[in-house]
Amino acid sequence: MVLRIMFFALMAIGLVGFGTVAWISTRPPPPPPHVAAAPPPAKIAVLGAARALRAGSLMKPEDLAAKEILIADRSADMSADTPDARRALAGAMVRRSLSVGEPVRASDVMRPGDHGFLAAVLQPGMRAVTVAVDATTGAAGLIWPGDRVDLILTQTIQEASMPLGHRVAAETVLSDVRVIAIDQQLVQGADTNQTDNQARTVTLEATQEQAVSVSVATRLGRLSLSVRSADTTSSAGTKVAAGRDTTWAVDVSPALGAAPPPHEQNMLRVYPGSGEAKEFKF
């Protein structure tokens, strides 16, 4: 009797255990523990090349663009994209060619004010010659280092024997020369004391002969600059032969060369009593 009771007890325990195992096996597995997603890597915007820049060229504001990189990849010679950093690179010379989007490093440029900057910008055998300009003759502040310009001389000839149409003349002194500096700090509007932000001097790259010609031209009359198209393919620094590119006042205003109208004489006729009339012309 005792054995039978133990047998049934063991059977009941087995059935309970089997049912428990079956019930556990039919339940879905517990969800995995929640793991927080890793934050995205931190990035920073540094200054990069907005377009391909050739070694020896001078940077303009439009040559710079923001380039996002990982903070971990930023080196000490990269500049964060800030207004001050952009102004500091305006007019800087590119030491090596840069591709589009490539970060601009301190070793890639020579900044205005660095020792030897002007000598490095000049091509071998060339000279730097500076001319004074105002808001009008300096192309209204639109000229930047690296632009190519023509230098035009306008002079008034103080000679009474000269025909009226040949008393004012303009001629090209230098053609297709490179601007290497604006004002003293070699960048456009660098002088913060200038409230009108207009250039006062422009420094041009010229040969020794051209520099002498410019020196004479500054004493003859007013100098002005004419900006050339970026697609100009003429030889850089070509000096136009004297007398072949002269525009006289009469070429602009033909009225200055026209013959004066004939002078109409007035006549006064006087009758002195019964005598013959006398005529007076004036």
182 and 240 inside one domain: yes
Residue 161 lies in a domain: yes
107 and 135 inside one domain: no
Residue 29 lies in a domain: no
What CATH number should be reported for the domain holding residue 73? 3.90.1210.10
Per DSSP, the three-state class of 190 is coil
Q: Are 154 and 221 in contact (CB under 8 A)?
A: yes
- Give bridge partners of residue 179 from the DSSP assignment: 204
Q: What secondary structure letter does DSSP report for 32?
A: P
223 and 253 inside one domain: yes
Q: Which domain holds residue 90?
A: 42-111
Residue 201 lies in a domain: yes
Tell me the per-residue pLDDT of 65-122, one tens digit each, with 9 for 90 and over.
Answer: 999 998 888 888 899 999 999 988 888 889 889 999 999 998 899 887 777 777 788 8
**What pTM does this model have?**
0.58
84 Rama class: left (phi>0) / alpha (psi -120 to 50) / beta: alpha
Tell me the per-residue pLDDT of 165-220, one tens digit each, with 9 for 90 and over.
Answer: 888 999 999 999 988 877 754 544 444 444 455 557 888 999 999 999 999 999 99
